[in-house]
Structure 1
Amino acid sequence: MSLLINPIAFQIGSLPVHWYGIILGLGALAGLLLAIREGKRFGIPQEFFMDLLLLGVPSAIVAARIYYVAFKWEDYKDNIWDAFKIWEGGIAIYGALIGAIICAVIYVRRQGYSFWRIADVCAPSLLIGQAIGRWGNFVNQEAYGGPVEESFLRNTLHLPDFIIDQMNVKGVFHHPTFLYESLWNFVGIALLLVLRRQKFLRAGELFISYFIWYSIGRFFIEALRTDSLAFQGSAGLASFLNSLWSPMTWMGFEQGYLDPVYGNVRISQLLALLIIIAAVALIVIRRTTGKASARYMDPIVSTKNAGAPTPEADLNRSRRKEELSEQRSTSTPETPKPQARQTDSVVDSPDDKEK
């Protein structure tokens, strides 16, 4: 007998608090802490990232819901109020990114910072937020893949019982695509953390690398799902995307069912491919045109307080003073050299000898 997770964590009076919202909140908090920690290296106050989060999260959620509802309009047009039931799931990550980026561009520029520099600092935060947030889909039993045998989950993937049970939807086991994407994102976090310490990295390229890494994973994982947003494209385009995905079939995977009513081209899969191409081209263009002259490790300065000392600079100055003070206190004073002892005898000069 499978034991499913209740999507409602607890209730405050008559108000239910859903696991989905709690998990999204934890993802946002983890991303905030990661950004604050890296921001300290550049002297960026933590209040800057807290304000960015408070503005960015609502913008991302609203845009993600609008994006999803727009492509699922047939399901909502007869009952528009269902579009506001975000706790039931149904948000699109690309919509969230659009909303977050628009908000960030406006806020960051008003604070006098370069968008590319701040986006670099926040890139790992985006991935950790997505990696944790995918577990909200797990609790809601959504964003899963096509049907599989229980033995595949238990003996091939060696998943714990609580994941296997939750992937049993109406008596049919499914690919845990939420888990595939979550693990892919955690690996991406490690890669970005290593990449940002490399001297060759230019400003903006860590943020662009985030899009490349995430989109590669999303392209292959998206085709496993059965709830993809889609549109009716040309047969040639659909065939081209399927051919790019074909290496997955060599590893024993099969694409999830795509309802012909919605179309034959998965929107997220096509967007992922376009983003990869655009991101690589953007890196090349920015380097060849000199737009990426600054490096990731260069100081980040706001044009609104460019002359003001940063907290990191004050800290380094204080540490330097302490080091100099310790050197003075621990240094051994030089022992004066003993003067040569004078003798009573006087050496006669040649003139005296002649006398």
Structure 2
Amino acid sequence: MQAFAAGLPSPEQAVWWLGPLPVRAYAVCILVGIVAAIWITQHRLKGRGGTGEEIYDVAPWAIGFGIVGGRIYHVVSSPRPYFGEGGEPWDALRIWEGGLGIWGAVALGAVGVWIGCRRHGHSFLDLADSLMPGLLVAQALGRWGNWFNNELYGGPSDAPWALTIHQWDAGAGEAVRDASGEAVVLGTFQPTFLYESLWCLFVAVLILVLDRRVRFARGQVVALYLMGYTAGRLVIELMRTDPAEIVFGQRVNVWVSVLVFLVGVALYFWRGSKADYPVRGPARTEAGQDRNDPEKALTPEA
């Protein structure tokens, strides 16, 4: 144990029981992230001429679709633990043990936001642009669930910030222990969960600063999110050593990051060419209409 004393610590337990009810750190991190995203988005909507209450109309749709999409993407992109040799297909439903793919969550979550906007008469692009910094903060907080689960780390490292990783019993939600009751340590590794968490916070702050200084067209902030997040995710993905499907010599998420980055570039220039700018400032009436132009403030796009 002394050989790993210099590394950053990892928890030895990620599940606590309140009677028959398990409290899982992974789920708590996700829930805290959701709350933070809703709060940030509410304030940003007010700056775009909204009341801030619009997020509550779409949040149930976004969260529900996002969780389903994240799980589907995780299972499809990492099928061997579930459908490979020795795998257990029913474990694909055990979402509480961890395993949400961000791109599935974003893709189906966006569908949920669109449905919510259509049902309640809100502008999808205004709401999506408002959501992006909060989504990044939610991702940053959610990554700490991986820390609790001792998962998603990089290669071996003896750097001062290297992460101590335990041999993990995912079913029990705790570290495996030796005969003396000590948690079994595998070594110290690159804390890629931490790198991604910090990168998400950096991109969130960058978008907030730029959005105050630059007049972006509707949809361009979404493009900034796609480009900013994937730029860091590509580097971090190349550092990870957890099992993953390999396509053309690289992890599948490497190729997905490249593709999504290019989509972000295309979206940025396409939306910029539209010159479709959102209303700025709290200029809405109690009825939700813009005082300056009732046709423009958070209304559905034509």
TM over 0.5: yes
Deviates further, 272-281 or 14-23: 272-281
Q: Which amino acid aligns with 2:58?
A: L
Please tell me whether the aligned partners of residues 220 and 271 of structure 2 are also in contact (alpha carbons under 8 angstroms).
Answer: no
Output aligned runs, 1:160-175, within 5 Å.
164-165=163-164, 167=165, 170-175=185-190
- Residues of 2 paired with 1:36 and 1:298: CA distance? 14
The structural deviation recorded for 1:62 is 1.2
Alignment counterpart, residue 193 of structure 2, candidates 167, 175, 178: 178
The one-letter amino acid paired with 1:212 is: M
Q: How does 1:328-347 map to 2 (within 5 A)?
A: none
Offset at residue 201 of structure 1 (A): 1.5
Residue 312 and residue 196 in structure 1: after superposition, are their counterparts in 2 closer, same or farther (change >3 A)? same
Residue 245 (structure 1) aligns with: none
Q: Which amino acid aligns with 1:126?
A: L
Given candidates 226, 244, 254, the residue that maps to 1:229 is 244
The structure having more radius of gyration, on CA atoms, is 1
The yes-or-no answer on 1:271 pairing with 2:286 is no
Amino acid at match of 1:62: V
Shift of 1:107: 1.3
Does the aligned pair in 1 maintain the 2:16–2:23 contact within 8 Å?
yes
* Alignment check: 8 A CA contact 1:39 1:46 kept: yes
Return the offset for 1:34.
0.4
1:219 equivalenced with 2:225 (yes/no): no
Q: TM-score of the superposition, structure 1-length normalised?
A: 0.68
Q: What secondary structure is seen at the aligned counterpart in 2 of 1:16?
A: strand
The Cα offsets for residues 59-108 of structure 1, whole Å up to 9 and x where unpaired, read as 11111111111233332135222111112212211111111011111211
Equivalent of 2:30, from 20, 24, 33? 24
2:156 is equivalent to residue 147 of structure 1? yes
Structure 1 partner of 2:182: none
Equivalent position SS for 2:239? coil
Distance verdict in 2 for CA 1:312–1:34, change over 3 Å: farther
User: Is the 1:117–1:300 Cα contact (8 Å) retained in structure 2?
Assistant: no
CA contact (8 A) 1:28 1:129 kept: yes
Say which SS state the counterpart of residue 59 (structure 1) adopts: helix
Query: What secondary structure is seen at the aligned counterpart in 1 of 2:255?
Result: helix
Return the alpha-carbon distance in structure 1 between the equivalents of residues 33 and 114 of structure 2.
Answer: 22
Q: For residues 249-273 of structure 1, what are the alpha-carbon distances to aligned partners after superposition, in whole Å with 9 as ceiling and x for unaligned? A: xxxxxxxxxxxxxxx2211111111
The answer to whether structure 1 residue 92 and structure 2 residue 101 are counterparts is yes
TM-score (norm 2): 0.79
Which segments of 5 or more consecutive residues in structure 1 lack a partner in the other structure?
234-263, 314-355
Equivalent position to 1:198, from 184, 209, 213: 213
The one-letter code sitting in structure 2 at the alignment partner of 1:28 is I
2:42 maps to: 36
Select 2:92's aligned residue among 83, 90, 108: 83
CA distance in 1, matches of 2:237, 2:214: 34
Cα gap change, 1:62 to 1:10, in 2 (>3 Å): same
Deviations 1:15-53 (A, max 9, x none): 211111111111111111101111223343444312322
Checking the alignment, whether the CA contact within 8 Å between 1:168 and 1:174 is kept in structure 2 is no
Q: 2-side partners of 1:12 and 1:56: how far apart?
A: 29
- Higher relative contact order (Cα pairs below 8 Å, separated by 6+ residues): 2
**Corresponding residue for residue 295 of structure 1:** 277
Deviation at 1:6, TM superposition (A): 4.0
- Aligned mates of 1:55, 1:7 — CA distance in 2: 32
Q: Give the Å deviation of 1:307.
A: 9.0
Counterpart contact for 1:7–1:18, Cα < 8 Å: no
Distance 1:10 1:300 in 2: 44
Distance change >3 Å, CA 287–CA 311, structure 1 → 2: closer
Q: Using the alignment, how far apart are the partners of 2:136 and 2:278 within structure 1?
A: 18
- Aligned partner (choices 109, 113, 133) of residue 104 of structure 1: 113
How many angstroms apart in 1 are the aligned matches of 2:259 and 2:243? 17
Cα shift at 1:311: 8.3
**Alpha-carbon distance in structure 2 between the residues aligned to 1:275 and 1:179:** 22
SS in 1 for 2:254: helix
For the residue of structure 1 that corresponds to 2:17, the secondary structure is strand
Unmatched runs of 5 consecutive residues or more in structure 2: 168-184, 292-302
- 1:122 aligns to what? 131
Q: After TM superposition, list the pairs within 5 Å mapping 1:301-320 onto structure 2.
A: 309-310=287-288
Residue 269 of structure 2 corresponds to 284
SS at structure 2 position matched to 1:178: helix
2:171 is matched with which residue?
Answer: none
Distance 1:60 1:196 in 2: 25
**Aligned partner of residue 44 in structure 1, secondary structure:** coil
- Report the AA paired with residue 138 of structure 2: G
CA contact (8 A) 1:146 1:175 kept: yes
Shift of the alpha carbon at 1:131? Answer: 0.7
Contact 1:212 1:276 in 2 (8 A): yes
Q: Give the whole-Å Cα distance in 2 for the aligned partners of 1:283 and 1:231.
A: 30
Aligned pair count reads: 266
